Amino acid sequence: MKKYFLASAGLLMMLSASGSLMAQTCTAVSPDILSNTNTVTGDSCNGDASIGTVCDGNNPTGPVLAYTWQHGTQAGTASGNITVTPTGGAPTYNPAMVIASGADCTTALNTAFCDVSVADSAGAGAAESIALSGLNGSNTRYFMFVFSLSSVANQKCGPFGLTVGTLPVKLQKFSVN
């Protein structure tokens, strides 16, 4: 019985140690690349293919790109949508996206719950949109992860255009002449 207990305890220690070593990391494309009414182009094929899970337990089938923005300390409510539109001659990319918050990209990636759940209903070659309503955290850093959930090889990554609704920003300077 004592040997069984020691073997079980050793196995539990190995499992818990291996779980802590499996934390995923990520790096946002560029700090604050998303700003009010910004348009960005990207290619998810250039993303991080080592990421196996994003918030809410979504399991990307292709590389993941992360975009970020910081609400100002006097921020209002975000409005409109962020839309990812596959581009190219005959786009086949099937994008999906989520929004999560955290102190850094890795924290947001590994959070249990997304601030905005996955958008993935349009299919291959079609645009996906995610509503910005409800993102009103003052002085909060948000991360949007662009990836695919498709099992079809030519839909797992590809070029896209990204358009952004209204993101509140902090007033940096004001003067009256």
28-42 pLDDT, tens digit per residue, is 665 556 665 578 888
Task: Provide CB contacts within 8 A for 92, sequence distance 6+.
Answer: 86, 124, 125, 154, 155, 158
Quick: pLDDT tens for 55-95. 888 899 999 998 888 776 555 667 788 899 999 988 999 99
Query: Model pTM?
Result: 0.76
Q: Which of 61, 123, 50 has the alpha carbon at shortest distance from 86?
A: 123
Please indicate whether residue 3 or residue 74 has the higher confidence score (pLDDT). Answer: 74
CA 39 from centroid of its chain's CA atoms: 17
Counted residue by residue, the chain has a size of 177
pLDDT at residue 167 tops 60: yes
Phi then psi dihedrals of residue 116, to 5 deg? -130, 120
Summarised one tens digit per residue, pLDDT across range 123-166 is: 999 999 988 877 766 678 888 899 999 999 999 999 999 888 77
pLDDT band at 168 (very low <50, low <70, confident <90, very high): low
Looking at residue 12, its amino acid is: L
Distance between CA atoms of 28 and 57, rounded to whole angstroms?
19
Task: Quote the radius of gyration of the chain (alpha carbons, Å).
Answer: 19
**Whose CA is closest to 142, among 58, 32, 11?**
32
Select from 85, 86, 82, 118 the least CA-distant residue to 100: 118
Please tell me the predicted confidence (pLDDT) of residue 92.
Answer: 94
Domains of the chain plus CATH, in order, are 25-166 (2.60.120.380)
pLDDT of residue 8: 34
* SS3 assignment, position 42: strand
Cβ neighbours, 10 Å, residue 122: 16
Confidence at residue 30, expressed as pLDDT on a 0 to 100 scale: 58
pLDDT tens digit string along 114-135? 888 888 889 999 999 988 877 7
Cβ–Cβ contacts within 10 Å for residue 118, how many?
A: 20
Cross-strand bridge partners of residue 162: 40, 84
